[in-house]
Amino acid sequence: MAVDLRDIVGALRISNDLDRVGDLAENIAKRVMLLTDGFRINEVMVQFQRMVQLVRDQLTRVLQSYERRYVAEALDVWRKDQEVDALNTSLFRELLTYMMENPHNITFCTHLLFCAKNL
pTM of the model: 0.84
pLDDT of 3 strictly over 90: no
Q: How many CB atoms lie within 10 A of CB 109?
A: 23
Percent of the chain with pLDDT over 70: 97
Which domains are assigned to the chain?
2-118 (1.20.58)
Q: In residues, how long is the chain?
A: 119
Q: How many CB atoms lie within 10 A of CB 59?
A: 14
| Digit-coded pLDDT (tens) for 76-97 | 999 999 999 999 999 999 999 9
| Digit-coded pLDDT (tens) for 5-32 | 888 998 899 999 999 999 999 999 999 8
If pLDDT is split at 50, 70 and 90, which confidence band does 37 have?
Answer: low
